[in-house]
Amino acid sequence: MEQIKLSEEYIKLGQALKAAGLVSSGVEAKIVIQDGLVSVDGEIDTRRGKKLYGGEVIEFDGQAVKIVK
């Protein structure tokens, strides 16, 4: 499982998708999140601005990424 290490207190869900290379742009991130294609800790989340503080696992398109502090 890929990991994203936080350099700040948190990262927003849309930014995390882009940082992990799961989407190519912020616009694409917005679309896939709003369409209910992204889950955080196994739950679908449609909030692009959801703050991730570390410990969460995001999933999209069969790939999982863990957010670490």
Q: What is the CATH number of the domain that holds 34?
A: 3.10.290.10
Q: How many domains does the chain have?
A: 1
Q: Residue 10 burial (CB < 10 Å; 0-12/13-18/19+)?
A: middle
Q: Give Cα 13 to chain centroid, integer Å.
A: 4
Q: Which pLDDT tens digit goes with each residue over 20-61? A: 999 999 999 999 999 999 999 999 999 999 999 999 999 999
Range(s) of the domain holding residue 43:
2-68
Lowest-confidence segment of 1-5, 12-16, 27-31, 54-58 by average pLDDT: 1-5
Integer Cα distance of 10 and 34 in angstroms: 21
pLDDT of 14 over the 90 cut: yes
- Give the mean pLDDT of 13-25: 96
